[in-house]
Amino acid sequence: MADDIAQESIDTIRALCMDIVQNANSGHPGLPLGMAPAAYVLFNRVMRYDPADPDWPDRDRFILSAGHGSALIYAMLHLTGYALTMDDLKAFRQWGSITPGHPERDPDPKRVTPGVEVTTGPLGQGFANGVGMAMAEEFLRQRFGSEVQDHRTFAIVSDGELEEGIGSEAASLAGFLKLGKITYLYDDNDISLDGPTSLSFKEDVTKRFEAYGWHVEYVEDVNDLHALEQAIDRAVAEEERPSLVRIRSIIGYPAPNKQGTSAAHGAPLGEDEVRATKEVMGMDPDKTFYVPEAVAEHMNMTARGQELKADWQKRFDTWKIEKPELVEEWDTAWAGKPLPGFDSSLPPDWGTDSIATRVAGQKCMAAFSKYTPTMIGGAADLSESTKTEFPGGESEHFSPTQPGRNVYFGVREHGMGGAVNGMAAHGGILRPYGSTFMQFSDYMRGAVRLSALMELPVAWVYTHDSIGLGEDGPTHQPVEHLAALRAIPQLTVIRPCDADETAEAWRITVNGLHGPAAFALSRQNLPVYERGEGKPFASAAGLDRGAYVMREADGDPKAIVVGTGSEVEVAVAAADRLQADGIPTRVVSFPSWELFEAQDQAYRDSVFPDGIPSVSVEAGIGQGWERWVDAAVSVERFGASAPAAEVMEQLGITPDNVAAKVKELVE
């Protein structure tokens, strides 16, 4: 009887997935049909979760990394008791539904798909997200105790995840860190969109992952539930290494005419094939979106989930009594907030009147370190250059034996990006961050885009942000990257002009800035401006509003010079020249377009009054500045290898050039 209800449940899953895709006349039925038995074993027999509370902190995490098979996760969530109705399944891929074409972690409360942990679809991203989730679990378990954090990360991955570079980067990192709470099920079906995988992919996956340091299991037939469950159980029992369960499946099985072909991958099977497949499974072909009563009862995990959560709640209540010193830290970490006292830690004492904003960032992190005990992150083998480490030495390194706060991601920018997103999606990790040179933001753009799409609270800390890098030359000097980052919706880009603006950027970001932030920090030293009432320059608190009058003109302003980052120094010098020539000039620091855009029109008009000509100066392409100013002094070519001052001079980022541009407008 047990085997009968299991098979009937799997057939129901397959039928639902076919109906979901066919009803929308769009989607990918092949993976859901082939991997339905694996999903059944995971959701019905293995994973610990509570459908009534999708945000339970100690739930197992599941990622459908092969997100094109989204019908499978929607069917599973519906059957197991999540708040995903049959009407939601029927609205698959329709406007405003919570069953979009690929699973989405939607930040809009009205469009949350309960049970979907991360947005997947770009292949390999979910693979890397799971590595970040496992890192978060490891860190939190060591910090708070296994009584309250002790869960696993599961995923279904495809050949695409194994072919994409981000998957390789993340797999290598996971193996090195010995993340034994990872169990990934690999849908090994020999088919890709173009045809058989043998067209481009014939490597020995088992040997490859063993070389990464993974434990690998092999299941010859996905339909052998006993072998499948045993293999997953062995993978779960292996806690010294991450596990890959390699499962032989047939894409589109048991569709009689399309199984085993690429025709089952990315298009509905068609009404005739759906009917024929249901007949093969012994189901009524005239019934659609049908769940037998026995299957509905067997698959609903609500009662079991509530028992699991209730057991955890007892442990949690005891833990709060036994470890009261950790309760506030736990509460603030899961709320995404720093501990009280954070604001008073910034800005620190700079101890100098000239400092690179990357170094200022390092001083900020040291100053607020004790108020952000669950903030972790690191750099792509550049921590010495990006200055993104918390103090503490070896004890703060995230290693196979010590999950500290500073992560050595290695030269794996894209894997780092995916893992940082996973940490944020896991919860309990305050504003995780990843860092590299700004030029290499290209190498991780897919992850940055998804952080914005999900509006995750992460920080991307980019340094060496302009041609001011100097001798390393055009390969390392970003010129188009600020424009490229600003083009990503829902990403807040901040380019501070000095140490005080850097402190303000960290303050608003850690304090709850909505969505991801991208910092652009300098390698070269920049002046620390004398700020505040009675001082030459306005408070850096103006950064909160994106742009502000940093220094008013001496007299009614006849022109406005705008700068960001290191070019604010150029703007100030240009304004001095213009003032001397009888043109009263306002200096505006403009560190963030996105924050400025969020201000009301009255404030924006107060910074840029009608009728006063404005010129921006920034050591990158001018694309986009036309939205804010009348003219831009910019760099419309790649940089060059030479001392920084000479590169700036040769490429026109000079006070004289800016002043001349202003005079053209004024005259």
Q: Which two tokens stand for residue 211?
A: 């070389």
455, 514 in Cβ contact below 8 A? yes
Inter-axis angle of helices 165-177 and 125-144, nearest 10: 20
> 195-196 and 191-192 as β-strands: parallel, antiparallel, unpaired?
antiparallel
DSSP for 302-355 reads HHHHHHHHHHHHHHHHHHHHH-GGGHHHHHHHHHT-PPTTTGGG-S----SSEE
Helix (H, G, I), strand (E, B) or coil at 261: coil
Helix (H, G, I), strand (E, B) or coil at 379: strand
Q: Which two tokens stand for residue 298?
A: 């067997």
Residue 251 DSSP one-character state: T
96, 84 in Cβ contact below 8 A? no
**561 strand-pairing partners:** 587, 615
| Closest of 625, 582, 590 to residue 607, by C-alpha | 590
Where is 378: in which H helix or E strand? strand 377-379
Alpha carbon distance 145, 155 (integer Å): 25
| Closest of 570, 528, 526, 557 to residue 658, by C-alpha | 570
**182 strand-pairing partners:** 153
**Chain centroid, CA 328 distance in Å:** 26
Place of tokens 């990934």: 184
| Closest of 561, 532, 518, 537 to residue 653, by C-alpha | 561
413 an active-site residue?
A: yes
DSSP for 511-566 reads TT-SS-EEEE--SSEEE---BSTTSSB--GGGGGGS-EEEE--SSS-SEEEEE-TT
Helix (H, G, I), strand (E, B) or coil at 660: helix
Q: Which two tokens stand for residue 500?
A: 């005080």
154, 62 in Cβ contact below 8 A? yes
Distances from the Cα of 422 to the Cα of 132, 182, 286, angstroms:
4, 13, 42
Q: How many alpha carbons lie under 13 Å from residue 163 in its C-beta half-sphere?
A: 16
What letters, b where the CB count within 10 A reaches 16 and e where it falls short, cover 251-278? Answer: bbbbbeebbbbbbbbebbbeeebbbbbb
Tell me whether residue 47 is exposed, middle or buried, using C-beta atoms within 10 angstroms of its C-beta: 0 to 12, 13 to 18, 19 or more.
Answer: buried
Cis peptide leading into residue 196 (ω within 30°): no
Q: Which one of the listed residues 104, 161, 169, 413 is annotated catalytic?
A: 413
Q: What is the largest CA-CA distance in the chain?
A: 93
How far apart, in Å, do the first and last CA atoms of the chain sit?
90
What region, left, alpha or beta, does residue 260 occupy, with left being phi > 0 and alpha being psi -120 to 50 degrees? left
Q: Which two tokens stand for residue 523?
A: 């390698």
Residue 403 DSSP one-character state: B
Helices (H), 147-196: 159-163, 165-177
List, by residue number, the catalytic residues: 413
